[in-house]
Chain A
Amino acid sequence: MAEVEETLKRIQSQKGVQGVVIANSEGIPIRSTLDNSSTVQYTGLIHQLLLKARSTVRDIDPQNDLTFLRVRSKKNEIMIAPDKDYFLIVIQNPSD
């Protein structure tokens, strides 16, 4: 429990991080530092993107698997770290 908190705090304190969301494999947000509506929006959309990305990688090579997903946009970068049961979403503004 404490480890989880510590991890979250460490990530949150990094430069440029705008928000952190932890969600489970069904797309339910467990922890979040954003407001509810944004959380729901991010989780819903990213969950679908994650499933699609993972299935793409697996379709091309069944022995391969998705380890990390980065979506870079004009304003910020959304990083998604997937796991078997949960996934971690971080929105960062690369400040350079």
Chain B
Amino acid sequence: MEIVHVYSRLRSEFGRACLLSDRVTELSLDLLPDPSLGAQFILRTPRDQASQARCDMSEHQVNTERFETESRGVNHTEGGWPKDVDPNEMEQTIRFRKKVEKDEGFMNSIPQLGSMMAHCIQQNNSLDIYQEYFTDEDEDESAEPPSAKTINVFRDPNKVKRTVTSLSWHPDGGRKLAGAYSCLHFQTSHSNMCEDSYIWDIENPNLPELTLKPVSPLICIEYNPKEPHTLVGGTYSGQIAYWDTRRGSQPVELSSVEHSHRDPVYKIMWLQSKTGLDAFSASTDGQVLWWDVRKLSEPTERLVLDPSREGNLEQALGAICLEYEPTMPTKFMVGTEQGVVLSCNRKAKTPAEKIVCSYEGHHGPVHALHRNPFFPKYFLTAGDWAACIWSEDIRDSAIMWTRYQMSYLTDACWSPVRPSVFFTSKMDGVLDVWDVLFKQNDPSLSLKVCDEPLYCLRVQDSGQMVACGSEGGSATLLEFCSGLSSLQKNDKSLLAAMFEREAKREKILEARQREQRLKERSRSEQSNTGQGAGDCIDAHDVQQLIARAEEDFYSVVEAEKRRREEPLQDKDAIKEVNGGKVMQ
């Protein structure tokens, strides 16, 4: 259909400006849809086609199979000799050499090379061209943000992965790391779960240096600081085992089942003694046992962690961690499952006096307990969702504490080089580095080490490397930047001042609380007698309160009675009506 509109004009009027005017709208054409035409088309469901003016790209990932490499030495032998010269024959080689020396080229080039060489040698002798300038200037560590990098990851070689529950650094230089592997979930034990624990050389993450084979999986392990070849470990069955790495994988000594702990041994530590062979262990059965590793059939001493000091095993608190400082050989501390830290004295005269005092403050088990290596009076605890710093003198509460974190804290320790730095590990696989002199609300550095929970943490003696163990059986070795591991000038004095200030604050708070308590007590005593020489006003207030309470009571009772009577009255009313009706 053609749509044509014809209009005619005079030729002379072409090109004239159009005079536009409004017109009433009129429908010129209305094309209605014709469904029959739809049969000529095929309906396609709507599709999305994105288009963008760029080239097609694709992403590929390739992962190669692990390639096992081995280091081997190469034997250098002589070579390069021409065919006619046999390198083993001295005569021939000498003859060859003499021939070369007589060569023209030789005689010309060697003096030239020699002069070049002499220049460099003399340059070396006169001046150290690689001299470091400005070595004396202190590097400004605070300018760069703290950082850390992963050096190595040591994975559990077995198929069934167990948790790394404890790590211990070799005392001499920290080139080796001992890890205790076990499964701490309640009552799960795979039939083919291996019980071995390993000692790793930190340079070689592929194969453990030594395998330790206990009778039951090890929960904790410690190198002897005096004899670096010996280790002691506590097992899941409650026994203690003693190894000598020179004598192989089997334990040299194993404690008897009857005299050991009845629950897994959570922590074992070496003691400072003349023989250097004493250790003590703690377990959730409520006991702390002392051992002489030469004779592990029976413990030398026993302490039951009963807070009522009666030695009653039923009431004992389960111990999770221990703290011992070689400079204070008679004192030690125990962190318990119930959130209480007990400070004990080994040399007390009566067993009742062995437990000196307790520090309560955590809502859950105290997983870590560590004294500050520079200020032994202050110690760090980690449990539930926060880490707290305590002063030995103040029993009621910690002097400093971190905010409640998003996940459970599993371990904590101070840095051996910087007094204000401590590390914590959490259940979400994050390792936090806290510097109390720098920032107290948040960690200075927060590292996500792995996706599984981190169970334990150990700092090497140099303070720069930290090993942390996870639930999936991998121990990660991290190295921190020098800012976090080198002692700054004012660290010690600033930290001492901070601790003193916080301790003083707590003392003041404690004193004030005590005063308030005394006042309350005296007030309540006076109100009981009714008449007081002192505050009569208070007594009067109390009387008023009593009177008001009585009024309230009686009014409520009356209201209730009235409420109960109403339905009865209504019932009577209905009866009357019915009666009336019946009458009718």
> Which residues of A approach B to under 8 Å, CB–CB?
1, 3-4, 7-8, 10-11, 14-17, 22, 24, 26-28, 30-31, 37, 40-41, 44-45, 47, 67-68, 70, 72, 77, 79, 81, 83-88, 90, 92, 94-96
Contact = CB atoms under 8 A, between A and B. Distances in A.
A31 B116 contact: no
Contact of B114 (A10, A15, A30, A72): A10
B569 interface: no
Contact of B79 (A10, A27, A72, A88): A27
B77 A87 contact: no
A41 B77 CA distance: 8
A73 to B, nearest CB: 11
Nearest to B82: A26
**A-side interface mostly:** mixed
A16 B114 contact: no
Given A79-B117, A81-B117, A90-B121, A41 B76 contact: yes
Contacts of A67: 116
Contact of A14 (B77, B80, B125): B125
3 tightest A-B CB contacts, nearest first: A7-B114, A81-B113, A27-B80
Contact of A96 (B80, B100, B121, B128): B128
A86 B78 contact: no
Given A11-B118, A96-B128, A83 B111 contact: no
Given A8-B114, A17-B121, A41-B76, A31 B97 contact: yes
B344 to A, nearest CB: 51
Given A88-B110, A94-B125, A24 B100 contact: yes
A7 B112 CA distance: 9
B111 A16 contact: no
Given A24-B100, A81-B113, A92 B124 contact: yes
Interface in B94-140: 96-97, 100-102, 105-107, 109-118, 120-122, 124-125, 128, 130
Given A1-B101, A31-B97, A83 B112 contact: yes
Given A1-B102, A83-B112, A86-B113, A92 B76 contact: no
- Among A14, A41, A81, A92, max chain B CB count under 10 A is at A81
Given A26-B82, A67-B116, A96-B125, 7 more contacts: A11-B121, A22-B110, A37-B76, A40-B76, A86-B113, A87-B113, A95-B125
A41 B78 CA distance: 8
Contact of A16 (B79, B100, B113, B125): B125
B76 A88 contact: no
A22 B121 CA distance: 16
Nearest to A27: B80
Contacts of B82: 26
B81 interface: yes
Contacts of B121: 11, 14, 16-17, 79, 90, 92
Q: How large is the interface on B (under 10, 10 to 19, 20 to 34, 35 or more residues)?
A: 20 to 34
A16 B76 contact: no
A44 B111 CA distance: 23
Contacts of A47: 80
A90 B250 CA distance: 53
Interface string B38-56: 0000000000000000000
A11 B77 contact: no
B480 to A, nearest CB: 25
25 contacts: A1-B107, A3-B111, A4-B101, A4-B110, A4-B111, A7-B110, A7-B115, A10-B118, A11-B121, A14-B121, A24-B100, A30-B100, A37-B76, A40-B77, A77-B124, A79-B121, A81-B116, A81-B117, A85-B109, A86-B110, A86-B113, A88-B110, A90-B121, A92-B124, A95-B125
Interface string B225-263: 000000000000000000000000000000000000000
Contact of B106 (A15, A41, A86): A86
Contacts of B76: 37, 40-41, 44-45
A84 to B, nearest CB: 7
